[in-house]
Structure 1
Amino acid sequence: MIQVANAPCSWGVIENIEGERGGYSTVLDEMHQTGYVGTELGDWGFMPTDPDTLRGELSARHLKLLGSWVSVYLHDPERHAQSEAEAVRTARLLAAVGGPGAVVVLGNDPYTDPVRTLNAGRITPEMGMTEAGWEVFAAGANRVARAVMRETGLRTVFHHHIGTWVETPAEIERFLAMTDPEVMGLCFDTGHYTFAGGDAVEGLRRHRDRIWHVHFKDQDPRVAEQSRREGWDGVTAVGHGVFCELGKGKVDFPAVLRQLGENGYGGWVVVEQDVLPGLGSPAESARRNREYLGRIGL
């Protein structure tokens, strides 16, 4: 049975973006108050990293820890060891607090490559990795996922993401073809997939056997078009609200839910409405997002 969580990025806790944001206590309080039953960890150090302390904070709010983003550097072979160590560190905390069903969510460090960041939402094949680059990238992903499984027993999912080396549907397809399906699945994000030029329902159908974790994110087509027309980078598009509240954008969430049902998906759905630190009204948006999902049967 699908359960609904939220994530700290809905409160402005986003990798490589600095700014004023509430502490973890406020975020967890507001998640619980707005009807969610689980959370991801957020940036390492945002929440307590001592297992007993974290377990107590989550238990007090009746929240389950279900996964965590880990920024990795798979395009750089000299940083594969660092990526492995950081993923395993996070996996140990997830296993201790969240249990065997938690997942490590890998994403290549976002908004750090200038070309990919500048062209988010309008990536062309010429902006992609070389053949040699793909080999390095996939080898790093397999190394990290196998280490996580070996050390903690947890599975790993890869998050396609704007402003990184795996954004477009074609790049996702290539990544999955080159990685080990025994240890590496896909974190399917409806908003990122849509902004990258894909159809979320088709993506869920195409990758049904590899989708082990799902992020519900909407995409405002007007902001996306303005971003392309004016040449905004990924961070600017996020700041202008390209990832809007659920049900107010392009993603057909009733159809997404039907496809998840056809897939036999029984994992978590994590609501993510990326906002920059200090912007928006996260608690009010979280409540409206949860109410919207209730209206469509989730």
Structure 2
Amino acid sequence: MSNEAVDNPGLRIGTAPDSWGVWFADDPKQVPWERFLDEVVASGYEWIELGPYGYLPTDPHQLEDELGTRGLKLSAGTVFTGFHKGEEQWQRAWDQALAVAGLASQLGAQHLVVIPDLWRSDATSEVLEPRTLSDEQWRKLGAGHDRLGKALLEEFGMRQQFHSHADSHIGTTREVLRFLDETDPRYTNLCLDTGHFAYYGGDNVKLIEERPERIGYLHLKQVDPTLLFDVLKNDVPFAEAVAEGIMIEPPHGIPDLAPIIEAVARIDPDIFAIVEQDMYGCDVDRPFPIARRTREHIFGCTHLART
């Protein structure tokens, strides 16, 4: 535990490219990476995530220089997996891990956020497979994540943090709990995304209190409750829901962030809490003022937040 954590037992608050509308490594409509980094600093954050591999520089020396000159530090990278599909998915996952964890670990990051493949494409909204998994697919899913988590720990000293997600097979409370039951806490724990968990009616604080040993990382976001039931009733694809503003600027949505930050701080103040407001497709001038106001809101709503 750091000296700052002893002095202030609150969580380290950071942000991510996602809060600037970045979903892909290369999209001319997204904010340029240099501007993203400059606006992160101007918003008051010190910790960031890598975002999609290839968005920020992939040369570790260049990335270290770009972050260092701005006083920024890296908390995690992200990969995408589909272990429920079969053994052939291992190589795909490990190839990503070698690149992403290989880069992030050189800059001191100790976490890899792992997002499951969606049953409905976030790029085209095409339905790709059934919405639910068979018992055999659940077994493959759990075994694959434990294998990945063990390899990450042994090879890079990094911890796997699994991210439940809208339009994926692991989204509801029951699905998240089953995922935890299918996996080994030594190798697989949760990046609890507050907005995605609330998207399907999940109670974030209840999950934290019932499974405290499985909370390894946080993504902070809120969902718009006035829009959510229309999205669910009309089966709106997640990407379209994002374009409509389903993930809304705090404090205008749910869940309240202060009780979540405080509940997780009681577990371990060294857990990261990364603001990650899905804003893909937004105008490049929109994210910065939202990021600044969101940070002000978080630091104003609880004393258990630190830089």
Give the TM-score normalised by structure 2: 0.88
Task: Name the aligned partner's letter for residue 79 of structure 1.
Answer: Q
Contact 1:205 1:263 in 2 (8 A): no
Aligned counterparts, 1:131-170, within 5 A: 131-170=135-174
2:292 corresponds to which residue?
A: 287
Displacement after TM superposition at 1:76 (Å): 2.0
Alignment of 1:92 with 2:97, yes or no, is no
Number of positions where the alignment pairs a residue of Structure 1 with one of Structure 2: 288
Per-residue deviation at 1:16?
9.5
Pick one of 249, 254, 257 that aligns with 2:253: 249
Separation in structure 1 between the aligned mates of residue 261 and residue 115 of structure 2, nearest angstrom: 24
The one-character-per-residue Cα deviations of 1:30-73 (angstroms, maximum 9, x if unpaired) are 01110111100011100111111111111111111010111112
Q: Give the whole-Å Cα distance in 2 for the aligned partners of 1:56 and 1:19.
A: 24
> What is the alpha-carbon distance in structure 2 between the residues aligned to residue 112 and residue 62 of structure 1?
38
1:1-298 superposed matches below 5 A: 1=5, 2-14=11-23, 20-77=29-86, 78-99=88-109, 102-110=110-118, 112=120, 127-279=131-283, 281-297=286-302, 298=305
Paired residue type of 2:23: I
Name the CA distance, whole Å, in 2 between partners of 1:158 and 1:281.
29
When structure 1 is superposed on structure 2, of 277-286 and 88-97 the one drifting more is: 277-286
* Preserved contact between residue 191 and residue 251 of structure 1 (Cα < 8 Å): yes
| CA 1:275–1:157: 2 relative to 1, 3 Å | same
Instruction: Answer whether contact 2:153 2:187 (CA < 8 A) is retained.
Output: yes
Amino acid at match of 2:238: G
* CA displacement at 1:257 relative to structure 2: 2.5
Give the fraction of aligned pairs with identical amino acids, expressed as a percent. 30
Contact kept, 8 Å, 1:155 with 1:183, in 2: the verdict is yes
Give the distance between the partners of 1:75 and 1:112, measured in 2 at CA: 15
Q: Assess if the C-alpha contact under 8 Å between 2:164 and 2:171 holds in 1.
A: yes
SS at match of 2:40: helix
Q: Is the 8 A contact 2:243 2:282 kept in 1?
A: no
* Cα distance between partner residues in 1 of 2:227 and 2:90: 36
* Cα pair distance change 1:109/1:22, threshold 3 Å: same
Cα deviation, 1:265-290, whole Å, max 9, x if unaligned, reads: 42211001111233471001101101
Structure 2 CA distance, aligned partners of 1:93 and 1:261?
28
Aligned partners of 1:183 and 1:161: how far apart in 2?
Answer: 20
Please report the RMSD computed on the Cα atoms of aligned residues, expressed in angstroms. Answer: 2.1
Amino acid paired to 2:231: S
Query: Residue 212 of structure 2 aligns to a residue in which SS?
Result: coil
Query: What 5-or-longer segments of structure 2 have no aligned partner?
Result: 6-10
CA contact (8 A) 2:265 2:271 kept: no
What displacement does 1:209 show?
Answer: 0.5
Deviation, 1:254, is 2.2
Shift of 1:140: 1.4
Moved over 3 A (4+): 15-19, 110-114
- CA gap of 1:216–1:61, structure 2 versus 1, over 3 A, is same
Q: Distance in 1 between matches of 2:204 and 2:39?
A: 28
In structure 2, do the counterparts of structure 1 residues 20 and 110 end up closer, same or farther at CA, with 3 Å as the change threshold? farther
C-alpha separation in 2, matches of 1:253 and 1:50 = 35
Query: What is the alpha-carbon distance in structure 2 between the residues aligned to residue 161 and residue 225 of structure 1?
Result: 17
Moved more, 258-267 or 151-160: 258-267
The one-character-per-residue Cα deviations of 1:122-149 (angstroms, maximum 9, x if unpaired) are xxxx942000111111121112112211
SS in 1 for 2:190: strand
Q: CA deviation at 1:229?
A: 3.1
CA contact (8 A) 1:220 1:250 kept: yes
Distance in 1 of aligned mates of 2:52 and 2:266: 33
SS in structure 1 at match of 2:83: coil
Partner Cα distance (1:88, 1:186) in 2: 21
Give how far 1:15 is off: 5.0
